[in-house]
Structure 1
Amino acid sequence: MNDPLLRVEQLHVSREGVPILQGVNLQAQAGEITGVLGRNGAGKSTLAYALMGLPAYAPSKGCIRFAGEDITDWSITERAQGGLTLAWQHPARYEGITVRDYLKLSASGAGEAELTESLELVQLAPSYLDRLVDKALSGGERKRIELASVYLMHPKLAILDEPDSGVDLLALGDILSLFRRLAQEGSGVLIITHREDVASQCHRSYLMCRGHIILEGSAEAVKRYFLSQCEPCGDNAPEMSGEVAKRV
């Protein structure tokens, strides 16, 4: 196997003195879709924010290596310039500009055909290019437009935090096809999700519980364990041992 595009080693992140991530290790390859599956409260979004370099989620210990570089101390801007991007669980609100102009923020040199194709990949008509990004758009439409913008970036690694949030089931298959298209074109894709049907579309998956990676392996094997063994995160969840994740 080639050297991983992303390698996370013993990552620790705390918020207001409370440990959230505790020794997280994971890898993601270029040209593959990697899943991080876990119940709500497992620490998945914290992982996404730490990988993207949000200052409030700076690690206290550990290392993030991306495309052969140690980026642990890089800013958000430096990571974005290096080819790392994050699609947020709740899309950012850019009000008062057209969808066309919003997409061109991601790909200033994109022509009309590329913009149209990006919308069609998320099942939106070309007429959306002339619509304003405003309150008239539903949450699901905003999400699809954000994913179209990620595709236009052609990032080295796309981190997708709950990419199905606000998207109806009929559109989910099309969005998963978009992720496969990104991978086929050489990008790495890291999907962070609480839904086993989304994680099952990945090449490999990790299972997160209470800030620990407890299992890694094939998407199908991790899905089976998640459905049969995992309980909701909370105060009564079992304590993690800190051991190396099991492989299945």
Structure 2
Amino acid sequence: MLRRIITSVILIPVLIYVIYADFLNSILLLCFVLALSYLGSKELYNLLKKIYGIEDSGFAVLWSHIPGLALLLTSYINVFFKSHSMGILYIIAGYMALVFIGTFAGFGMKSSGKYLLVFSACYIYTSVFPLIIWVIRLEPQGYILIYFLFFLGWLNDALAYFIGTFLGRTRGLIKYSPNKSLEGYIGSFVLTIMIAAGLQLALRPRLYLGFTESVAAGFLISVFAPLGDLCESIVKRKAGAKDSSGFLPGLGGVLDVFDSILLSVPFYYLLLKIFAVI
């Protein structure tokens, strides 16, 4: 517990500053996203290779990292030189095509299926999704919107844990998360939405979100944050691992910390677009 507290005390202020700093198109946040992408893809690859029986090779290891890191760097160059507004979407699609081509070229048509699944998961989950965090930050009010996402995502996880610990009675409904309780899920779902609404009322107009948008964001995060945690739990259990890695003392790996955020962020971004917040 002490190591968990120490790591959190160091990580949270650093993350707050990195998200807030906006010089050179939020390059500090991009560096953080690059690190998250590299470490996350490394963790995910190591877990998935155990599940699918993938043999380590230099190409396989490199191909789990390179397209995603190239995506992030190319996207930054696109924004830095104020290229086409749809440029990032084209870049995402281009590197996705590269993942397919490289996988088929490297492993052949017969044995490429499982490799393609692993590489696509690494590319989308640990590169495209983190990239969206940086894209949101490029907006004038972006840092507030990211704070809101991170706060609600981690709050939902904490509420589920504490409510489940003290009030949970109905457990074992989900095979891969037998310790999670129905009471924890329901309680965290309701409270996250209520707190999202309360934050909007308390912080308007600084939050840049209306009441409806805030409640909708709370709803989406309450749905997808637990799903992100559940998906990672399934992968870890199938791989026979307790944590995705030991990179963050007391917390596990970067995927253990950011799993709820990563699955929530694309849907959060779509919500912001639908409501014309960004």
Same fold (TM over 0.5): no
**Superposition TM-score, scaled by structure 1 size:** 0.27
Structure of greater Rg: 2
TM-score normalised by L of structure 2: 0.25
Relative to its length, the structure with more strand (as a share) is 1
